[in-house]
Amino acid sequence: MTDSQEPAIEEIKEKMKTVKHKILVLSGKGGVGKSTFSAHLAHGLAEDENTQIALLDIDICGPSIPKIMGLEGEQVHQSGSGWSPVYVEDNLGVMSVGFLLSSPDDAVIWRGPKKNGMIKQFLRDVDWGEVDYLIVDTPPGTSDEHLSVVQYLATARIDGAVLITTPQEVSLQDVRKEINFCRKVKLPIIGVVENMSGFICPKCKKESQIFPPTTGGAELMCQDLEVPLLGRVPLDPLIGKNCDKGQSFFTDAPDSPATLAYRSIIQRIQEFCDLRQSKEENLINS
């Protein structure tokens, strides 16, 4: 950490005092459904209107959250207390570099320090207000952006990371690296989600493995590496369709196997955060 970063870390710590829980969503590979998961985690948590949600997209070079959340073309506004998030609902605010581009097809070609500067600004200058959950959608892999967000939030306590994978070995291989990264930087692992995990036929309800796991899939990997498997979300063509339309999949398919899987995973994440909070409170009071 350089000296010039120190004041920013203090400012971020101060800003994050109004944010109760912070969750990073990571994946080893691109295209495995990380942004889709982040968006649906936000939608699912925001169903409780007493819960305030912030969704921050730090995939600087490939921001897909504006499209998935139906916010393409929206702009960020500056207020006296910083950048205002773009609101999907009263209790769900979003921030992304996508809001700063003049067109969704604009390419962001930035080197590491500029990307880190943007992440710092997002964490320090966005006026989130009182927030229960801050969900951070990260780029694939373990790059500068991941190190930056972990360093910037180090003093502000991150609850943990959710790792998204598909069942294939090429994706699992990269998730193992991601798990090592989390352990090296002492980032707690909330658990792994196996996405695009089988397809349940809507007619006969039979499950088919579209991407058959050759090495036991996420379940075996989680057992080997002693990390929790939070659940398996099946492939559902409606998910892709709704993401392209910028709508929550939960509204259109409230009883589908994928919705039920998402909901059970979201509940486990909430339980993890609640437990962590109560452990901390006990520690403070003891």
Ligand X SMILES: Nc1ncnc2c1ncn2[C@@H]1O[C@H](COP(=O)(O)OP(=O)(O)OP(=O)(O)O)[C@@H](O)[C@H]1O
Query: What's the sign of the alpha-carbon dihedral 144, 149, 94, 117?
Result: negative
Spatial distance between the Cα atoms of 69 and 39, rounded to a whole number of angstroms = 7
Contact between 70 and ligand X per CB under 6 A: no
- Are 63 and 100 contacting, i.e. CB atoms less than 8 angstroms apart? no
> Which of residues 147 and 154 has its CB atom nearest to ligand X in the complex?
147
Q: Which H or E element spans position 283?
A: helix 257-285
Contact between 111 and ligand SF4 per CB under 6 A: no
Contacted entry of ligand X, ligand SF4, none for residue 140, CB cut-off 5 to 8 Å set by kind:
ligand X
Tell the smallest beta-carbon distance from residue 263 to ligand SF4 (Å): 24
Contacted entry of ligand SF4, ligand X, none for residue 206, CB cut-off 5 to 8 Å set by kind:
ligand SF4
> Which of residues 186 and 203 has its CB atom nearest to ligand SF4 in the complex?
203
- In the complex, which residue's CB is closest to ligand X? 30
> Which of residues 208 and 215 has its CB atom nearest to ligand SF4 in the complex?
208
Contact between 141 and ligand X per CB under 6 A: no
Among 117, 212, 240, 254, binds ligand X (CB under 6 A): 240
Tell the smallest beta-carbon distance from residue 175 to ligand SF4 (Å): 29
**Cβ burial, residue 42 (10 Å; 0-12/13-18/19+):** buried
Q: Which neighbouring-strand residues pair with 13?
A: none
Contact between 109 and ligand SF4 per CB under 6 A: no
Q: Which H or E element spans position 6?
A: helix 6-15
If one counts every other C-beta atom within 10 angstroms of the C-beta of residue 106, the result is 11
CA nearest to 93, candidates 46, 139, 48: 46
Spatial distance between the Cα atoms of 283 and 46, rounded to a whole number of angstroms = 29
Tell the smallest beta-carbon distance from residue 196 to ligand SF4 (Å): 17
Spatial distance between the Cα atoms of 144 and 142, rounded to a whole number of angstroms = 7
Contacted entry of ligand SF4, ligand X, none for residue 30, CB cut-off 5 to 8 Å set by kind:
ligand X
Cα distances from 209 to residues 57, 168, 212, in angstroms, run 31, 11, 5
> Which of residues 32 and 58 has its CB atom nearest to ligand X in the complex?
32
- Are 40 and 248 contacting, i.e. CB atoms less than 8 angstroms apart? yes
Among 17, 111, 186, 203, binds ligand SF4 (CB under 6 A): 203
CA-based radius of gyration for the chain: 18
Contacted entry of ligand X, ligand SF4, none for residue 62, CB cut-off 5 to 8 Å set by kind:
ligand X
Contact between 204 and ligand SF4 per CB under 6 A: yes
Interface residues with ligand X (CB under 6 A) are 27, 30-36, 59, 62, 64, 140, 195-196, 233, 235-236, 239-240, 243, 258
The contact set with ligand SF4 (CB under 6 A) reads 201, 203-204, 206
Binding residues for [4Fe-4S] cluster: 201, 204
Show binding-site residues.
Answer: 28-35, 201, 204
